[in-house]
Amino acid sequence: MPPIDNIFAVLVAGFFLSATPGPSMLYVLSHSVGQNRTAGYASAFGLALGGMALAIATALGLAQLFEQVPNIVVALRYVGSVYLVWLGLEMIWRARAASRAKLEVTTLASKPISAIVWQGVIVELLNPKTVLFFALFLPPFVEAAQNSTTNDVRNQLLILGALVPLTAIPSDILVAYMGGSLTNRLNQQQKLREGMAWAGGSILILIAANLHLGFI
User: What is the DSSP annotation of 28-67?
Assistant: HHHHHHHT-HHHHHHHHHHHHHHHHHHHHHHHHHHHHHHH
Tell me how crowded residue 152 is: count the other CB atoms within 10 A of its CB.
18
Query: Domain for residue 96, yes or no?
Result: no
> Per-residue pLDDT for 178 more than 80?
no
Query: Domain for residue 185, yes or no?
Result: no
- CA–CA distance, 75 with 53 (Å, rounded to integer): 25
Query: Domain for residue 168, yes or no?
Result: yes
Query: Domain for residue 167, yes or no?
Result: yes
- Calculate mean pLDDT across residues 160-175: 86
Query: Domain for residue 10, yes or no?
Result: yes
| pLDDT one-digit tens code per residue, 50-67 | 988 988 888 888 877 777
User: What is the domain extent for residue 161?
Assistant: 4-79+104-179
Output the pLDDT for position 98: 62
**Domain count for the chain:** 1
pLDDT grade, residue 99 (50/70/90)? low
CA dihedral 176, 180, 184, 185 (to 10 degrees): -40
Give the global pTM.
Answer: 0.76
Average pLDDT, the chain: 79
How far lies 50's CA from each of 11, 81, 143, 168, in Å? Answer: 18, 25, 26, 12
Choose among 188, 21, 190, 22: nearest CA to 99: 190
Question: Pick the residue with more confidence: 121 or 212?
Answer: 121
> Per-residue pLDDT for 165 more than 70?
yes
Output the pLDDT for position 185: 64
Output the pLDDT for position 107: 61
Query: Domain for residue 55, yes or no?
Result: yes
Cβ neighbours for 215, distance < 8 A, ≥ 6 positions apart: 209
Query: Domain for residue 187, yes or no?
Result: no
